[in-house]
A and B are shown apart, each in its own frame.
Chain A
Amino acid sequence: MENKEFVFVTPEMDSKEILKKIRDSKEVFFTSTAMRDAGQSDYKNRLRIHDLLTLAPLYNEMGLFSAECHGGARWHVGIMNRKEDPFEEIRLLRANMPNVLLQTLVRETNLWGYRPYPKNIVEYAISRVDIDVWRCFSFLNDIRNMRTVAEIVMGKGKIFEPTISFTDADWATDNYYLKVVDEIISLCGSPKDIILAIKDMAGVGTTKRIGRLIDAIKQRYPDLIIQYHRHMTDGLALPAYLSAAMAGAKIFDVEEDSLVRFYGQPPILAVEAYFREAGIEVHLNRPLAEEAVLKVREWINSYDWAESPFRGFDHTVTYHRMPGGAFPSSFEQASKGNFLELMPAILKVMSLYNKIVHYFDVTPGSQITWVTCSGIVNRYAKEQGSAGIKNLIRLLEKFIYEKGQDFNAMDKEEQLELLGLFKNAPEDFKNLIMGQYGKLPDGWPADWVYMSTFGSEWEEKIKSRKEESPDENSKNEDLERLRWNLKDAIGRNPTDEEFVLYLMHPKDTIEFIEWRDKFGEAPLVLPTNVWRKGLKKPGDKVEFELWGKPYCIELVSIGAENDGVIHVVVLVNNKTKVYEVYTQKAKKVEKRMAKGPNDIASPVNGTVWRIGNPERGVLHVGDIVHKGEEIANVEAMKMENVVAAPFDGQIVEICVKLNELVQEGQLLFVIDRMVKDTRAEIPADS
């Protein structure tokens, strides 16, 4: 079999041409989520580009519709934990699988971050990210929030894939979803210009339910290409996929069988075989897909540490609806916060909570649900122990199932208890019910929820609830100023890409940039076991290629800890190198470096032998200095270096002592810039 013939769409092709080819084909197609959602759902987003790249040459010829390799959590965990830059990931993937369409997942105006961004930031960020397929969802199905992203992506000639968030609830009817699809079509123009995705992020669509929904949509929009994205959490993904395919869905999200655990997408080979048996033609070079499955086995065992502590399918997901992508991270947080034993109760409360407040459990909604519910359960556990949690669940069940959520039907004491439910709710929950994210899909929650959340202010709060979309009334932000903030923080000019990282996750980006400045490309070249644990015993080595040349790092010895310092001897290409490694016991003497605009730095490494100047003598805190005036002198190798005040101002801090040895760039002074006294500039005789 010629591999080439399976490549049917490439990034160079026009987006309309790609859509037409799919629409006209008898076959169904696959999107591989191995590089994003598979890792997110079962491995806390820890799958490293180093390993994922081994799949790239296979994907390049496999005939996939696309590879989902990019998205908010992969990005965020990338800079925090894997120390990988999403831009460099894209470059590596482009270089290693140039035939494959790269796909991202964006949270409408939140893009890959956690807050709604104004139009100028959305535009700036999107135009710098080299992605072919833009899947875009709203956790409220508030399609108004997608406008800016839709305009920019479609304007760039890329494939826009608006997405409906799917859940199974009495209010989430076919008519409800059809209305959402109508809104999408009216936003995007024609059903022929987009792909519609159905995002079943928790994996709750039953065989019949999903078939019926897709059929309903296809009835109304026969030309619409539908992609079904589903997690396997309930254990029923395969029959649901077949049902969706029968109803006319065209593209399916899958991952390598060997990557599959419990909360991600269905296994590629199994889906292909199941579809083939049912008479549905699948566009896939199966031998290459089998090779990819084998390839994953070469490295997947080095990720057992990243898997969820709770394993196995969970059909009760149909109640609590925790999305696959949130499973491992929630358990990770519970385990870090020492409340892993409360997980069953939290899941139970979540299932009751989402009958009270209606939206979709996907970022950022899933985080709001998680933080709110785990907060409530933790509070009860602390105040009243396990009996309290039981009472809480009993109360909510009574309220929901017996009293049909009729607040007045509950007795006084129970009402008081309910009114205490959201009193410590997180800010994001408050923003949610205040309309900051957009309209809730099934209307605002009942008044008692506002009473519980805001206390006596509840009526005012309801009055000031926002009805318009955050996409419609956002004010542009000052990009230059934001860039300066980043420059001050890292002490150099950031690249455009670093700036985009910063716009999404300001604090984590600064740490990431500093980390990478120090350790370079370690996250890209080291195999996962070395990346995580290093070299264990003398003689252990790691070999890799860097920028086209072979390198080898071999461990010689690790010394004993002494005053918080361990000496590690390694051979770098057979040459000895000794590193001082500081443990937590090390006393850190950190030199303060000049960073901000009011910080005056030492121009050289040397000795501060004069603070002040011969005319004025020694300068002190509080002294006024003038632009160009010498304020200190640093001697290095018998050369004097004048430190002059860069502007008129007042000395707020002198950060060094006389005759102190300073580094280049070390902070010498902080000077408060003096606002010019304009009166002095008016000529005396006017």
Chain B
Amino acid sequence: MERTIKKVLVANRGVPAVRIMHTCRDRKIATTAVYSTPDRLAHHVYMADTAVHIGDAPPAKSYLNMERIIDAAKKSKVDAIHPGWGFLSENPDFAQAVIDNGFIWIGPPPSAIKLLGDKIEAKKMAQRASVPVIPGISPVESIEDIKNWMKKENISYPIILKAVAGGGGKGMFRVDSEAELINAFNQTQSEAVKSFGDKRIMAEKYISHGRHIEVQVVADEAGNVVHLYERECTLQRRHQKIIEEAPSPSIDDDLRQEICFAAVRLMREVKYVSAGTVEFILDPPNRKFYFLEVNTRLQVEHGITELITGLDIVGIMIDIAMGKNLHIKQSDVRPNRWALEVRLNAENPRNFSPSFGRITRLLVPQGPGVRIASGVYEGADVPPYYDSLIMLVITAGVDRDDAIRVMDRALGRNLRVEGVQTLAPLLLAIIRHPAFKAGEFSTHFIETHMDELVATFRDRNSEDEVLKIAHYVAEVSALGPPSWI
């Protein structure tokens, strides 16, 4: 059954909201933004055709406030709601509420979100689809449960504790020894409650030096499931990805076929609809991969897949939500580029401490092979309440070296952000590191090489220095000769 979408409410902010609005503009679909009080002048509000205030700064009062968002949808007379990533994107109750209120949900059915959002159930489904899984126990009530499981299944440290309802790197803690177990258990539980409102946690064997590889899948209501190949997301800090690329330099074509079709098998098994991502961990020494989880939403790093395939995943999600069948078959998907994405977070590049404030200057990288997805503009505020991502810088080239070269140019020559600190120096140091260039890295790459990476930061540049001089000129112009002079 085909449905029309003439206006979409984007239940998000920042980079994802702006990204979705871009496709809507391409499709001549009108958009409505929602915003919290501090986001009144945010970039996504500017991009939208109309905008509705939905509450105060804390996410629970605004971007997680389902009632206010549904009200906003009614008020602005939209046909559909796109949740972006983060916030309510993987909340089945919200998806259900959207549908119950007569709107189209641009995303997978609530039942699929619910099923795959429960890590225990998801693991069962994977096993049923003959997809290998990591040994683990879930849920665990106490540290005794964990110790018993480890004894029974002969598991050694390290292990990892996760919020059952979690995702996005929050509520995850690696435990290297029994001594750390108590702190990690408490912290996982506390963050689980805080971030997901669900205190259940699970434990798993931790694959050290594993690589994160995920497969982008799109599926329509008619049951067609197509994969758009894999992405390599191994480079993380504190379990949050900061550099992604496609294709993965860690696998060969045989393993690629295997992993991509495992993902398709799983999504078929759960009768998935819309865009979704199946995440795996690869244990490189024995070329084995294990199912980790399914992200039932658009992902931050979808852009690199778009660059290598030429497809518009947000567009495909809208098509599917409108009841259309996929316009591509598996054999139509032929990647012919290498793409690299870095997450430009507003953070101190030495210790990842978030950096808030106003962006007083923003020069965006340009030139051949560069795609920018920005959530901010020059003059925008970066408030302390939300994710620190302000911009995605994506580059493409004929091969990996070429994509890295373009990224080096984009980060090293073109980009300038004043007012807040960004990860740019760290990102540049990583892509210049010989081990990264050789494709030799694991999830520990950043912690292992941090000192080395920081040592290559150029401490000072003339653009920063001239602002100090201008500051002095401003002071002395306003106050006259200083007494000490």
Contact = CB atoms under 8 A, between A and B. Distances in A.
B286 interface: no
A534 B475 contact: yes
Nearest to B345: A637
Interface string B138-178: 00000000000000000000000000000000100000000
A606 interface: yes
Contact of B473 (A521, A522, A583, A604): A522
A583 B462 CA distance: 28
Scoring A549, A553, A642 by chain B CB atoms within 10 A of each residue's CB, the highest score goes to: A553
B477 A555 contact: yes
B425 to A, nearest CB: 16
Nearest to B189: A614
A45 to B, nearest CB: 12
A485 B347 CA distance: 30
Interface in B166-221: 170, 182-183, 186-187, 190-191, 194-195
Contacts of A636: 353-354, 384
Given A605-B353, A639-B170, A640-B191, A534 B471 contact: no
A604 B354 contact: yes
Given A522-B468, A640-B190, A640-B191, A534 B351 contact: no
B348 A664 contact: yes
A504 B36 CA distance: 55
A579 B348 CA distance: 22
A416 to B, nearest CB: 42
A605 B384 contact: yes
Nearest to A573: B466
A575 B356 contact: no
A642 B352 CA distance: 14
B474 A581 contact: yes
Interface string A568-583: 1010110101110101
Interface residues of B, number: 44
A614 B186 contact: yes
Interface in A496-530: 518-522, 525-526, 530
Interface string B468-485: 111111111111110011
Contact of B477 (A534, A578, A630): A534
Interface string A532-555: 111110000010001111010101
A75 to B, nearest CB: 16
Interface residues of A, number: 54
B384 A581 contact: no
A636 B385 CA distance: 8
Interface in B115-151: none
Contact of A533 (B238, B466, B471, B476): B476
Contacts of B469: 519-522, 525-526, 546, 551, 553
B386 interface: yes
Contacts of B466: 546, 551, 553, 572-573
B354 A81 contact: no
Contacts of B471: 518-519, 579
B452 interface: no
A655 interface: no
B270 to A, nearest CB: 28
B360 A630 contact: no
Given A579-B474, A640-B187, A520 B465 contact: yes
B480 A664 contact: no
Contacts of B474: 534, 568, 570, 579, 581
B477 A546 contact: no
**Could you tell me the dominant secondary structure of chain B's interface residues?**
helix
A652 interface: no
Given A581-B478, A640-B187, A521 B470 contact: no
Contact of A530 (B191, B355, B473, B478): B473
B74 interface: no
B484 to A, nearest CB: 6
Contact of B354 (A46, A535, A553, A637): A637
A613 to B, nearest CB: 8
Contact of A534 (B183, B353, B476): B476
A604 B351 contact: yes
Contacts of B477: 533-536, 555, 558, 568
A81 B186 CA distance: 55
Contacts of B467: 572, 577
Given A532-B481, A583-B479, A637-B387, A575 B351 contact: no
Contacts of A635: 194
A630 B185 CA distance: 14
A646 interface: no
Contact of B353 (A533, A579, A603): A603
Contacts of A575: 361
Contacts of B422: none
**Could you tell me the dominant secondary structure of chain A's interface residues?**
mixed
Scoring B195, B471, B474 by chain A CB atoms within 10 A of each residue's CB, the highest score goes to: B474
A481 interface: no
B345 to A, nearest CB: 9
Interface in B444-467: 460, 462, 465-467
B388 interface: yes
A460 B388 CA distance: 71
Nearest to B240: A639
A547 B194 CA distance: 49
Contacts of B484: 80-81
A579 B419 CA distance: 12
A549 B466 CA distance: 10
Given A522-B472, A551-B466, A604 B480 contact: no
Contacts of A573: 466
Nearest to B346: A637
B190 A605 contact: no
Nearest to A517: B468
A616 interface: no
A678 to B, nearest CB: 25
B363 to A, nearest CB: 10
Scoring B183, B460, B473, B475 by chain A CB atoms within 10 A of each residue's CB, the highest score goes to: B473
Contact of B351 (A530, A566, A603, A637): A603
B470 A546 contact: no
Contacts of A532: 476, 481, 485
Nearest to B195: A638
A615 B474 CA distance: 52
B360 to A, nearest CB: 7
B195 to A, nearest CB: 6
A529 B386 CA distance: 46
A167 B190 CA distance: 80
B462 A546 contact: yes
A547 B462 contact: yes
Scoring A305, A555, A635, A664 by chain B CB atoms within 10 A of each residue's CB, the highest score goes to: A664
A587 to B, nearest CB: 17
A227 to B, nearest CB: 34
Contacts of A409: none
Interface string B243-286: 00000000000000000000000000000000000000000000
Given A570-B470, A637-B387, A549 B351 contact: no
B361 A520 contact: no
Scoring B467, B477, B480 by chain A CB atoms within 10 A of each residue's CB, the highest score goes to: B477
A582 to B, nearest CB: 9
A577 B360 contact: yes
B399 to A, nearest CB: 34
Ranked nearest first, the 5 interchain pairs of A and B with the lowest CB-CB distance are A534-B477, A520-B468, A604-B353, A534-B476, A568-B474
23 contacts: A518-B468, A520-B468, A521-B465, A533-B480, A536-B477, A546-B462, A546-B465, A547-B462, A551-B469, A558-B478, A566-B478, A568-B477, A572-B470, A579-B471, A579-B475, A604-B354, A605-B355, A606-B353, A630-B183, A637-B354, A638-B195, A639-B170, A664-B351
Given A522-B473, A568-B478, A572-B466, 14 more contacts: A80-B484, A521-B468, A525-B469, A526-B469, A533-B480, A536-B477, A581-B479, A604-B351, A605-B353, A614-B186, A636-B353, A638-B195, A639-B238, A661-B384
